[in-house]
Structure 1
């Protein structure tokens, strides 16, 4: 195993960075989309059950099925992998963002408007900061979930460590089959742990001590 890793260390490290990069980009895009939708849902509360239903149904769609649906449109490659990861990443963030905005005290919003803040100013300086702890929890969950989805997205030649797992499966019984599978699996776990630590640090830096759980 150690010989296998030492011979391929540079490539393994590169793929680990690619895996993290795919998840990072997908989660950033997912966060923007989810927060934008949540703002609309908070404005029109009748959309709340619809958003929750979409989130629940979306999470039940098998990732392989989604990949199969995307292939005729986006073909094999990084774009299909990115869309797949971003789709699943959006769902837990959306659910938390809707809850987070709903919990913001309406009197604070009215006070901010009374001070002359515009709707955009209230959103950026009041609503998002107060809802951020709940949104951040959704983003953190999304990051961890996306690590596994990104591995499955390697089926369409997406970047990352998932390729090692599929190589191990296709070479089952071969000399290095187990090595490929173990390196891919353990590598994803390590990347996920590092990402979770970074998310904890992000929470410490961006969540006010007064509202930190």
Structure 2
């Protein structure tokens, strides 16, 4: 059976796994964004701590994905929970880094003007700094998302959902009937999911730019 024939015959299952993959990535990115942006805001007046957090979260990216997923098993067992936890860990650094960069690149004169208008620190951050930093922050979220699309496939080693199941099952049966087609369909699915999510973030960037959330 050819690859195209295999994918056509199993299109329903492939779409189901792709939906699982997208949901898994978006949940993980959302958690990473909350943590990354939150840490950037909380350490606004503590540059030393911020630098330490950037170093720590950056160093976590050097942990091999197989090892990180395996480390989650004693704490969370198998399935969705350890997969999301590992992906969230990987997604924090690019979002934290870009949030810090975006905030630091805001023109101090604009911030001073807002202060002169009587805006307090919280209001200045909410209505001036974050909107101006948003394009850079969004790019960090986009980078984290594309990175996690590929990493999420590794989650199959802890029985996580998504297209990684096809890849690993196909590789385990390599040499058997349709094993190669199964693995390749999973790889192609991951690539297509990455393209779809990338287009989604391009659309979000354009929409927010039209609404004035741009530099």
TM-score of Structure 1 vs Structure 2, range by shorter chain? over 0.9
Q: Deviations over 1:32-56 (max 9, x none)?
A: 1111101123221122321331232
- Residue aligning to 2:9: 7
In the aligned structure 2, how far is the partner of 1:173 from the partner of 1:125?
Answer: 59
Structure 1 residues 37-52: aligned runs within 5 Å: 37-52=39-54
User: Is residue 74 from structure 1 mapped to residue 46 from structure 2 by the alignment?
Assistant: no
User: Is residue 161 from structure 1 mapped to residue 180 from structure 2 by the alignment?
Assistant: no
Contact 2:95 2:140 in 1 (8 A): yes
What secondary structure sits across from 2:61 in the alignment? helix
In the aligned structure 2, how far is the partner of 1:8 from the partner of 1:111?
Answer: 60
Contact 1:23 1:146 in 2 (8 A): yes
Aligned length: 213
Contact 1:55 1:95 in 2 (8 A): no
In the aligned structure 2, how far is the partner of 1:10 from the partner of 1:35?
Answer: 37
User: Is residue 136 from structure 1 mapped to residue 138 from structure 2 by the alignment?
Assistant: yes
What secondary structure sits across from 1:42 in the alignment? coil
Find 2:119's aligned residue among 111, 114, 117.
117
Structure 1 residues 1-213: aligned runs within 5 Å: 1-207=3-209
- Following TM superposition, by how much is the alpha carbon of 1:3 offset from its aligned partner in structure 2, in angstroms? 3.0
What secondary structure sits across from 2:86 in the alignment? helix
- Following TM superposition, by how much is the alpha carbon of 1:8 offset from its aligned partner in structure 2, in angstroms? 1.7
With normalisation by structure 2, the TM-score equals 0.92
What secondary structure sits across from 1:158 in the alignment? coil
With normalisation by structure 1, the TM-score equals 0.93
- Following TM superposition, by how much is the alpha carbon of 1:211 offset from its aligned partner in structure 2, in angstroms? 7.9
What is the RMSD of the two structures over their aligned residues, measured on CA atoms?
1.8
Contact 2:208 2:214 in 1 (8 A): no
- Following TM superposition, by how much is the alpha carbon of 1:207 offset from its aligned partner in structure 2, in angstroms? 3.0
Q: Deviations over 1:107-160 (max 9, x none)?
A: 322322332333332222111111111111111111110001110012111111
Structure 1: which 5+ residue stretches go unaligned? Answer: none
In the aligned structure 2, how far is the partner of 1:85 from the partner of 1:167?
Answer: 21
- Following TM superposition, by how much is the alpha carbon of 1:212 offset from its aligned partner in structure 2, in angstroms? 5.1
Question: Quick one: structure 1 residues 80 and 36, their matched pair in 2 at CA, closer, same or farther if it must change by over 3 Å?
Answer: same
